[in-house]
C-alpha cells in the first residue's frame, strides 16, 4: 500500500529543516586532529528567516504621485499633465516609523519598456526591473538626459529637467515608462516606482496627429 505525505507549508518545512539540521554532526580538522561539533540552531533559524524575508514585499516603495500624458515629445522638458514637475515620494508598507535613511536616499530615474508590468502586479523583482531598462541606440547615444540622479528630502523629490532625446518606436511595445530606483546601499530593497506607459514622438511631429 502506498501512502502519500500531506503537503507541508513553507514555514512548516523550515521548522522541520531547522530541527533536524541543527543536530547534524559536522567534522572539522585542526592541527591534525578531527573535531566533532553540532551546527548551532540559531544559524539555521537565521538562514531560514532570510529566505522567508526574500519572498515578502519590500517594506518601502517609491512612487510617482503625478503622471505624464499619453504622448510626450522629444527635446521638451518632461512634466505632468498640468505642466508641473513629476513628484516622487517614498511610501512605507504598513510601517509605523520610517527608516530615516530612506527619507534622504539617493534615487535614479530610468527609462523602461512600456511592456514592463503590463499585468499591473503589486510587486516585481529587481532583476525584472533591471531587465526592462531601455538601452540607447548606438546612433543616438541616450534615451533620456537631464538631472536623473536626485536626493530625497523628507521622502520626496521632483524631476525638473529631464528630456527625451529618442522616440519610443524602437522598443517592442512602442511605448516607454519612467522608472525610479534607490541607488544607495540601505541594507534592504526599496521597490522601484513606475509610471503608466506613454508614447514618445519626435518634436517635429507635435501638433500633427498623423505624424508618428
User: Each residue of 112-133: pLDDT tens digit?
Assistant: 999 999 988 889 999 999 999 9
User: 150 and 121, same structural domain?
Assistant: yes
Higher-confidence position of 28 and 202: 202
User: Mean of the per-residue pLDDT values for the chain?
Assistant: 80
**pTM of structure:** 0.71
Q: At what angle are helices 41-54 and 10-21 packed, to 10 degrees? A: 160
pLDDT value at 51 more than 50 = no
What is the count of structural domains for the chain? Answer: 2
Residue 211 is assigned to a structural domain of this protein: no
CA distances (Å), origin 103, targets 60, 117, 160: 10, 26, 19
Same-domain check for residues 119 and 177: yes
Look at strands 86-92 and 190-191 and give their pairing. unpaired
CATH code, 132: 2.60.40.3960
Q: Which of 142, 121, 124 is CA-nearest to residue 132?
A: 124
Q: pLDDT tens digits for 67-106?
A: 899 999 999 999 999 999 999 999 998 766 788 999 999 9
pLDDT band at 39 (very low <50, low <70, confident <90, very high): very low
Answer yes or no: is 24 within a domain: yes
Question: Which is nearest to 88 in space by CA: 1, 166, 160, 173?
Answer: 160
Amino acid at each position: 500500500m502506498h501512502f502519500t505525505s500531506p503537503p507541508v507549508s513553507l514555514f512548516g518545512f523550515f521548522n522541520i529543516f531547522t530541527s533536524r539540521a541543527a543536530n547534524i554532526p559536522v567534522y572539522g580538522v585542526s592541527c591534525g586532529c578531527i573535531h566533532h561539533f553540532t551546527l548551532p540552531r540559531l544559524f539555521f533559524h537565521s538562514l531560514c528567516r532570510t529566505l522567508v524575508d526574500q519572498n515578502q514585499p519590500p517594506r518601502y516603495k517609491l512612487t510617482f504621485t503625478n503622471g505624464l500624458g499619453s504622448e510626450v515629445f522629444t527635446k521638451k522638458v518632461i512634466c505632468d499633465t498640468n505642466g508641473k514637475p513629476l513628484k516622487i515620494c517614498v511610501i512605507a508598507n504598513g510601517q509605523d516609523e520610517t527608516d530615516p535613511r530612506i527619507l534622504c536616499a539617493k534615487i535614479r530615474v530610468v527609462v523602461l519598456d512600456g511592456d514592463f508590468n503590463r499585468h499591473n502586479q503589486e510587486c516585481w523583482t529587481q532583476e525584472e526591473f533591471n531587465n526592462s531598462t531601455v538601452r540607447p541606440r548606438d546612433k543616438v547615444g541616450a534615451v533620456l538626459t537631464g538631472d536623473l540622479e536626485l536626493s530625497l528630502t523628507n521622502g520626496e523629490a521632483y524631476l525638473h529637467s529631464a528630456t527625451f532625446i529618442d522616440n519610443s518606436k524602437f522598443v517592442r511595445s512602442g511605448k516607454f515608462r519612467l522608472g525610479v530606483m534607490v541607488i544607495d546601499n540601505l541594507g534592504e530593497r526599496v521597490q522601484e516606482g513606475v509610471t503608466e506607459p506613454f508614447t514618445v514622438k519626435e518634436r517635429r511631429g507635435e501638433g500633427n496627429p498623423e505624424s508618428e
